[in-house]
Amino acid sequence: AYDVLILGGGPAGAAAAVYAARKGIRTGLLAERFGGQVLDTMAIENFISVPHTEGPKFAAALEQHVRGYGVDIINLQRATGITPAAAPGGLMSVQLASGAALQTKSLILSPGARWRQMNVPGEDEYRNKGVAYCPHCDGPLFKGKRVAVIGGGNSGVEAAIDLAGIVAHVTLIEFDAQLRADAVLQRKLASLANATVITSALSTEVHGDGSKVIGLSYKDRVSEAMHRLDLDGIFVQIGLVPNTEWLKGTVALSPRGEIEIDARGETSVPGVFAAGDATTVPYKQIVIAAGDGAKAALSAFDYLIRLAPA
Ligand code: FAD
């Protein structure tokens, strides 16, 4: 059995693994895809002390750092459920899709999240070539350009306000007849000279020139007329979905499916900790996920040293 088993090989899980292994405890890391979301990222320019790197390079560095500590990495395996300890301080187990199970004294959950996609033609083809999901990450790449934000909830309107300070013009596109964001955000957006809001609009296609985005088509849901916008970038802000479906009924989840944690990364189950995009911690970023992964590992170590001697 492991002292600590980490579920997830993104920045949160990798940081947790390094911090746990440095305590000299038996550490395992299980991941469906070591590296996580950064594998799908091109430029990373906001990880402090690293002015510029690329996602796959960053993921390789995460893995190298973790392997350097002799962590037992179980890659390309998906967890399907957890069984908490029968008695306080006992072993818990993690079930895998392969049918196997892993035993551990403590567990750190860092399964991350995925951006909800529009699922329209061109979106996949131009991902990272104008189609973006993270304004904090990719906003500066569109300095002085024309962009659209898809989605009029809080994250979409926040993104549009944020981007308006960087880009030449931002068009916010909402499917419904009205925006769903807080009134104060809507007022702020309405006050910006370089922002336009289009409601009752269904995005239908991302257009590109073969190498980058050049526009977006949408249907006016009232008149049924088709329209096309000339754009350099499209920020899709229709939801970030935590990868926690398989945890329902074990650890407490928020109404949005995020793992509820306290300031120490503790979940509702003793001995189970969590970190990163899958949790209730706001602002989903690499540096935040990594910091919280370190914190969860230190909390797991605190938990382990308080267990009765075996
Ligand atoms: P993830 O990176 O999502 O990793 C989750 C891990 O858990 C993966 O290894 C996954 O395979 C594994 N996993 C999930 N479910 C299971 C399961 N059931 N069984 C086994 N393993 C499982 N942030 C920045 O700070 N700067 C940027 O420039 C930036 N750019 C981005 C660009 C894109 C296109 C995207 C999508 C995100 C970007 N982000 C950026 C956000 C950043 O990638 C995330 O905040 C960060 O990766 C979260 O780390 P995490 O460890 O919580 O989760």
ipTM: 0.99
Cα–Cα distance for residue pair 165/261, rounded to 1 Å = 33
Cα–Cα distance for residue pair 295/286, rounded to 1 Å = 14
Ligand 1, atom 47, lies closest to the CA of: 37
Residues 52 and 194 in one domain: no
Cα–Cα distance for residue pair 145/132, rounded to 1 Å = 14
The CATH number given to whatever domain includes residue 176 is 3.50.50.60
Given this model, what pLDDT does residue 42 score? 82
98 falls within a domain: yes
Q: Quick check: CB of 13 below 6 Å from ligand 1?
A: yes
Total number of domains constituting the chain: 2
Mean pLDDT score, 73-89? 95
Mean pLDDT score, 258-284? 98
Distance 186 CA to ligand 1 centre (A): 30
Residues 228 and 255 in one domain: no
The token pair at 77 is 């395996």
310 falls within a domain: no
Q: Quick check: CB of 32 below 6 Å from ligand 1?
A: yes
Given this model, what pLDDT does residue 231 score? 98
Residues 104 and 134 in one domain: no
Q: Quick check: CB of 102 below 6 Å from ligand 1?
A: no
Residues 203 and 271 in one domain: no
Query: Which pairing describes strands 233-236 and 146-150: parallel, antiparallel, or unpaired?
Result: parallel
Q: From 188, 212, 236, give the residue that closes a domain.
A: 236
Residues 273 and 208 in one domain: no
pTM for the model stands at 0.94
With tokens 């070539």, the residue in question is 129
Q: Quick check: CB of 14 below 6 Å from ligand 1?
A: no
Cα–Cα distance for residue pair 103/51, rounded to 1 Å = 40
Given this model, what pLDDT does residue 177 score? 98
Could you identify the atom of ligand 1 that is nearest to the CA of residue 132? 34
Q: From 178, 210, 236, give the residue that closes a domain.
A: 236
270 falls within a domain: yes
Range of the domain at 57: 2-114+240-305
